Amino acid sequence: MATAANWTRRSVVAGMVGTPMLLIAGCTGGSGSKGSGGGGSSPAASRATVTVTPKDGATGVDMTAPVTVRVAQGTLEEVTLTGPGGKHIAGRLTPDRAGWTSDAPLSSSAGYKLAAVTKDSAGTTATAAAAFTTGKPAKTLVGTYTPDDKMTVGVGMPVSITFDNVVTNKAAVQKAITVTAEPPVEIVGHWFGDSRLDFRPQQYWKPGTKVTVKLALKDVEASKGRFGTQARTVTFTVGRSQTSVADLGSHQLTVTRDGKVTGSFPISGGSPEHTTWAGKMVISEKLLQTRMDSRTVNLGGEYDIADVPHAQRLTNSGTFIHGNYWSYGTFGNVNTSHGCVGLHDVQGASDPSTPAAQFYNSSLVGDVVEVVNSGDRTVDPANGLNGWNMDWSTWKAGSAV
């Protein structure tokens, strides 16, 4: 048969939560008189009743709502709320010790346990327990990031995160994302508008640098009632140093790798009617063949080429450096394109000896192509991964922390 104390504890736990409950305790029963047969007196029942919100066994609990404990005909001596991994959740008692409220945020989709000790006016103490599980946030925030995990990239590659909703609590979101490098270097975040955050160092990465990106966005409130969902770590490696200069005045592309010129190719850029953006542009995408339709860049029906070879994206607005098999006599001589930089190629991207194929095969996502003498203004830093066109002080001014 169970002892009185054990029976008391089970009774309290089973009936406590959601509605007021009588707490019965055996820890302050005193030295009551002995009855016949020499048995001890039963412990006194506590008159204190406890209500816990949320109820014991509740699921899908709102993670933003505080946990509360209320006691009638008694006081709260101690309240402990623990979450995943045994982490204690802070809270505070009311001055009269009749209530307790959590004052630290809860996690989503997580289990919690609460334990409370009460004392009634007669000094009788009792214990109570409850358990519940939080649900998922109703509104979420997800960031699409580049580069991908385990990639090897060029020295100009920033970390770029585009969110699927507007971020108003920019400091909280930025603090939840850490970017570190080995060897160490200062890395600063910059917001482009309300839904994109990029990180980069002051100068291009050193070849061989190992970069780690930690996204600790889960349950971070990005805007009112909208919470992040991601908790992951991404790593990438910086490869050899390759930068190129596309001089549209001399119609030549000069490639420099690890401090030495390794190639020079004749090119054709944007015509006077459709000049090419100037400035430093990072290769953000490589496509062996792709369709280019002028209607997608607001140029009407001027062209629609189904199989543009060796295409490497330089801006979000449609600037590429790519192979060209349909123009003759232009490379190295005249700028005739609608804004892209072209190199000689063959249809089908089948000849590795062409200038376009050679440049494509030597390039990495994250390599920098700088366009000069194009007759156009410097590209908007937000148009592609092109934050290198912003000086360091301006870049740092765009940080929220």
Active site residues: 322, 340
3 state SS of 320? strand
Please give the helix or strand (H or E) that residue 159 lies within, else none.
Answer: strand 159-163
Who's near 267: CB < 8 A, 6+ residues apart? 246, 248, 251, 252, 253, 331, 332, 341, 342, 343
Enter the tokens of residue 291. Answer: 């369709």
3 state SS of 187? strand
Phi and psi angles of residue 361, each rounded to the nearest 5 degrees, phi first: -70, -20
* Residue found by looking up tokens 């949320």 in the block: 54
DSSP state at residue 401 = -
Number of H helices, E strands in the chain: 4, 28
Classify residue 279 as left (phi > 0), alpha (psi -120 to 50) or beta: left
CB 219 within 8 A of CB 204: no
Question: Quick one: three-class SS letters along 263-319?
Answer: EEEECECECCCCCCCEEEEECCEEEEEEEEEHHHHCCCCCCEEEEEEEEEECCCCCC
Q: How many CB atoms are closer than 10 A to CB 246?
A: 25
CB 203 within 8 A of CB 166: no
CA distance 338 to 325: 15
Enter the tokens of residue 290. Answer: 């792709």
Single out the residue of 295, 311, 299 nearest to residue 365, CA to CA.
311
DSSP state at residue 388 = G
Q: Order the strands of the 304-313 sheet from edge to edge.
A: 285-293, 304-313, 320-324, 341-344
3 state SS of 360? helix
